[in-house]
Chain A
Amino acid sequence: MIIYAGPLILGFLLGFVMGTRIQEDPESNLKFGASVYAVFFIMAVIVAYFLGPFPYYYDVPLASGFVACALGIIMGKLIFGRKAPLKMEESATLE
């Protein structure tokens, strides 16, 4: 079985970039724990299965780019998403 690396690498990269931006505010009442990411990943695999692969892709029976992006988001959150949150509203208005 041939695994096509293109959608896996680019999907993971895009997901990773987005995952690094997930930073929870310690002062906020909103808490998104590990269970949220577990549910998200399970849902992502189910959605990817029903989406199916692209035309001409016969490697796996699901949208591999979709799953790679979901993995990238989780990895980005785990690796870079733990530091103190940035003040987005300040940077948006003052600069």
Chain B
Amino acid sequence: MSTILKIFVFPAAMIIMCLGVLTILGGHITPGGGFQGGAMIAAGFIFCLIVYGLKESPFKLSHDFLAAVESVGALGFVFLGLVGLIFSGFFLYNVGVDLYSYVPASIQSAFNYPDPTSAGIIPYLNFVVGLKVMVGLSAVVIAFLGFKELEKDKKEVQE
């Protein structure tokens, strides 16, 4: 890739990632949400991977990191669902808003997102979905680039 691209892409990728985070954070009041924001963050990672390559990319996403974040995302979603199930009897009940008054006030205030809209657990769900999508899409591209490197190594060995 050209030198201009190599200078430009890293800061631009970070700006794209910040925009993705903003899309996740505004998921409960503006268009967007966890999936869309996570895809935008992954786009930032992929931008770097395409321009710098797998070896020289400034973002190093190891297998352990990808597995850990994916697990945190999935378990966080299940945890938020189980909180609703335990306190109200309904999986993914919005305990932060508590429209039907099933939940004690302390639990309600603990799970209510601190912003002017009082969206309850919806922003937290967006957050965990964003984490999952971010690493999921990045992992696909990293795997494809890794397979490409493997093929190159195999050809070199055969020659």
Point out residues on A near B: beta carbons under 8 Å: 4-7, 10-11, 13-15, 17-18, 21-25, 28, 30, 32, 36, 39-40, 43-44, 47, 51, 54-58, 63, 65-66, 69-70, 73, 85-86, 88-89, 91-93, 95
Residues of B within 8 A of A (CB): 6, 10-11, 14-15, 17-19, 21-22, 24-26, 29-30, 41, 52, 54-65, 69, 113-117, 123, 127, 130-131, 139, 142-143, 145-147, 149-150
Contacts of B149 in A (CB 8 A): 89, 93
User: Taking the nearest CB of chain B, how far is it from the CB of A27, in angstroms?
Assistant: 9
Please name 18 pairs of A and B residues whose Cβ atoms are closer than 8 Å in the assembled complex, sorted by A: A4-B116, A6-B123, A10-B127, A11-B21, A13-B127, A14-B21, A15-B17, A15-B18, A17-B131, A22-B58, A28-B56, A40-B14, A44-B15, A54-B25, A55-B29, A65-B22, A88-B57, A92-B143
Asked if A89 and B58 sit within 8 Å, CB to CB, the answer is: no
Of residues A10, A24, A63, A65, which shows the largest number of chain B Cβ atoms within 10 Å of its Cβ? Answer: A10
A63 touches B64 (CB 8 A): no
Set of chain A residues within 8 Å of B52, measured between Cβ atoms:
30
- Docked pose: A55 CA to B41 CA in angstroms: 23
Contacts of A23 in B (CB 8 A): 58, 60
CA of A21 to CA of B42, assembled, Å: 13
Residue picked from A6, A22, A58, A63, most chain B C-beta under 10 Å: A6
Q: A4-B115, A36-B10, A88-B61 are in contact. List 6 more A-B contacts (CB 8 A).
A: A4-B116, A5-B114, A14-B127, A32-B58, A65-B25, A88-B62
Return A18 CB to nearest CB of chain B, in Å: 6
Chain A residues with Cβ below 8 Å from B130 are 14
- Cβ contact within 8 Å between A57 and B115: yes
B145 in contact with A47 (CB, 8 Å):
no
A54 touches B59 (CB 8 A): no
Which of A36, A63, A88 contacts B22, CB < 8 Å? A63
How many whole Å from A48's CB to the nearest CB in chain B? 8
- Once the chains bind, are A89 and B55 in contact (CB under 8 Å)? yes
Q: What's the minimum C-beta distance from A42 to chain B, rounded to whole angstroms?
A: 10
Q: How far is A56 from B54 in the complex, measured between Cα atoms in Å? A: 42
